[in-house]
Structures are given as structure tokens and as C-alpha cells.
């Protein structure tokens, strides 16, 4: 079974994935927890290119790098793990591409669908948890994580940070738009809830839908 987590940066996916891994192992379910981009040596190198580089990358280049990393992870790790009967928990998958490169960067959604179909080998998650958070709160969380000592006020942001916030707004509406078209696969969770409550909801959904 393939479980994916989505949401804008700062929504609390990593915390929930840790809790879920613990929950599954407590029930004797073997799981493998992975993140995108990354997960193989090559994919981790691509991750560094995408996230640590100060070089400008075009939206198309960005899309193809994320997709190359995904193809590596899907073919080398995820498909074999699923074939062995493992439960795979994935921190981001192709919905991130739709939201970030499609709605955020403005790439054509039809073209994205083709690239996604190729890079995933057609693999679909059984369920996707979308942790929903408004971009202002998400950025505030990011600032405090990185100990940036500013009281967040959108009017105090510089131009870059402003464009950052606009970008995240587009990304969030991209997720919401995607979910509107494909309600069945998604479980939407309010990421403002306390972490234990979010975990309770996630396990509740898994129990209801999959008897886990």
C-alpha cells in the first residue's frame, strides 16, 4: 500500500510521518518511509541541485529534475518495496509537482500530466493525506524553525519574501483545486490542530478505509 503526504512547506508532514511509522510498527505492519525529492544516492544528488543551488533553474528544468528524482525512487525503491508487500509512506509525490510546478510556477497542466505519468510509471497512491495550512502560518512556522527573530507581518516582508508568499498561496490553491477534481484519494486534515489530534485523524481514516 502506498500512503502519501502533501501540503505546503511547514504543514507538519514529517512529524506526522514519524508518528504514523510508529503506529504501523506497533501493529506489526512493516513500512518504509521515504521523501521526495531523494531516497537514492542519485535522487539525493538531484535534491541538492534543486534545493541547495543558488543557480537559477527554469520551471521546465525544475520539473524535469524533480521528475528524474521521482523516476529513480519509483523504479528502484518504491515498486520493489510494494511488490514485497511493504507499506510505503511517501513525503510528497506527484501532487507536489502539480501544485508547485503547475499552479505555483504556471507550467501547463496537461503537459505535467504526461510527465507525471512517465516519471511514476503510472503508480498511484492508495491514499493521500493533505495537511492544509494557510501560507502565512506555514511561513511563520518556518521562520521559528530556523530561529529567524522576526514577528511575521506580511507588510514587513521584502520583495522576495512577498513573492514567496504569493507563490505559496498559488501552491495551496493548486492543492485545493486538485482535491476538488479527485476527492476519493484524498483525506484533508486541518494542520492547525495539535499534532496528536492530527495523528488520531490520520489513523482513524486508515482504520475506516483500509481496516489498518
Q: How far is the CB of 94 from ligand TYD (least distance, A)?
A: 7
- Establish if 140 lies at the interface with ligand TYD (CB under 6 A): no
Task: Give the C-alpha separation, 161 to 134, whole Å.
Answer: 15
Stretch that binds ligand TYD, among 17-25, 53-61, 88-96, 190-198 (CB under 6 A): 88-96
Q: How far is the CB of 140 from ligand TYD (least distance, A)?
A: 14
Residues in 37-56 that interact with ligand TYD by CB under 6 A: 37, 51
Interior CA angle at 186 toward 181 and 187, to 5°? 135
- Establish if 194 lies at the interface with ligand TYD (CB under 6 A): no
Pairing of strands 31-35, 2-6: unpaired
The three grid cell numbers given for residue 16, joined into one nine-digit string: 506526522
The three grid cell numbers given for residue 175, joined into one nine-digit string: 492543492
Helix, strand or coil, per DSSP, at residue 129: strand
- Establish if 66 lies at the interface with ligand TYD (CB under 6 A): yes
Q: How far is the CB of 99 from ligand TYD (least distance, A)?
A: 8
Among 96, 119, 120, 128, binds ligand TYD (CB under 6 A): 96
Task: Give the C-alpha separation, 188 to 128, whole Å.
Answer: 8
- Establish if 6 lies at the interface with ligand TYD (CB under 6 A): no
The three grid cell numbers given for residue 47, joined into one nine-digit string: 535534491
Residues 6+ apart with CB under 8 A from 196: none
- Establish if 172 lies at the interface with ligand TYD (CB under 6 A): no
Residues contributing to the site for ligand TYD (CB under 6 A): 9, 13, 35-37, 51, 66, 91-92, 96-97, 100-101
Amino acid at each position: 500500500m502506498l500512503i502519501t503526504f502533501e501540503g505546503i512547506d511547514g504543514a507538519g508532514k514529517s512529524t506526522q510521518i514519524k508518528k504514523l511509522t510508529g503506529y504501523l510498527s506497533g501493529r506489526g505492519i512493516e513500512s518504509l518511509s521515504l521523501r521526495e525529492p531523494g531516497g537514492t544516492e542519485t535522487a539525493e544528488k538531484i535534491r541538492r541541485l534543486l534545493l541547495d543551488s543558488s543557480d537559477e533553474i527554469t520551471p521546465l528544468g525544475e520539473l524535469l529534475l524533480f521528475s528524474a528524482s521521482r523516476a529513480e525512487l519509483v523504479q528502484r525503491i518504491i515498486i520493489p518495496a510494494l511488490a514485497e508487500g511493504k507499506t510505503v509512506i511517501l513525503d510528497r509525490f506527484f501532487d507536489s509537482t502539480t501544485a508547485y510546478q503547475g499552479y505555483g510556477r504556471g507550467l501547463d497542466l496537461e503537459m505535467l500530466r504526461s510527465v507525471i505519468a512517465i516519471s511514476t510509471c503510472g503508480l498511484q497512491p492508495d491514499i493521500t493525506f493533505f495537511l492544509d495550512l494557510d501560507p502565512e502560518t506555514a511561513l511563520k512556522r518556518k521562520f521559528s524553525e530556523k530561529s529567524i527573530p522576526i514577528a511575521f507581518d506580511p507588510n514587513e516582508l521584502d520583495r522576495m519574501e512577498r513573492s514567496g508568499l504569493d507563490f505559496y498561496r498559488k501552491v495551496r490553491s493548486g492543492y485545493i483545486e486538485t482535491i476538488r477534481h479527485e476527492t476519493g484519494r484524498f483525506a484533508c486534515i486541518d494542520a492547525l490542530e495539535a499534532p496528536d489530534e492530527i495523528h488520531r485523524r490520520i489513523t482513524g481514516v486508515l482504520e475506516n478505509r483500509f481496516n489498518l
